[in-house]
Amino acid sequence: MTSLFKFGETRSTGLFGVVGSSTQDETLRNIFNSGQYHDLTVVAKDGRDFKVHKNEGATSRIELPESADIVHAILGHIYGLPESACLSKPSPNPRFGGVIEEDTKTSQLFCVVRIYFAADKYDLPKLKSLAKTAYEARLYEALALDAMTVAALVYDNTPENDVGIRSETCRYVRLHLTSIMADEPARTELLNNKGLLQDLLTRLGVCMQEYRNTTAKLSYMQ
Average pLDDT per consecutive 10 residues, the chain (222 residues; last block may be shorter)? 48 36 48 53 77 61 84 83 72 47 82 94 91 93 94 94 90 93 96 93 68 57 60
Domain that residue 16 falls in: 1-106
Is residue 128 a part of any domain in this protein?
no
Q: Which residues of 84-95 are buried (b: 16+ CB within 10 A; e: fewer)?
A: bebbeebeeeee
Is residue 117 a part of any domain in this protein?
no
Spatial neighbors of 55 by CB under 8 A, at least 6 apart, are 13, 14, 15, 16, 17
Is residue 22 a part of any domain in this protein?
yes
Is residue 136 a part of any domain in this protein?
no
Is residue 118 a part of any domain in this protein?
no
Is residue 15 a part of any domain in this protein?
yes
Q: What is the pLDDT of residue 30?
A: 52
d(CA 142, CA 204): 24
Is residue 93 a part of any domain in this protein?
yes
Is residue 12 a part of any domain in this protein?
yes
Q: What is the pLDDT of residue 98?
A: 46
Q: Structurally, how many domains does the chain consist of? A: 1
Q: What is the pLDDT of residue 172?
A: 94
Q: What is the pLDDT of residue 85?
A: 76
Q: What is the pTM of this model?
A: 0.72
d(CA 30, CA 185): 46
Neighbours of 170 (CB within 10 A): 21
Q: What is the pLDDT of residue 46?
A: 79
CATH number of the domain enclosing 43: 3.30.710
Q: What is the pLDDT of residue 195?
A: 94
Phi-psi region of 81 (alpha: psi -120 to 50; beta: other; left: phi over 0): beta
Cβ distance 39 to 54 under 8 Å? Answer: yes
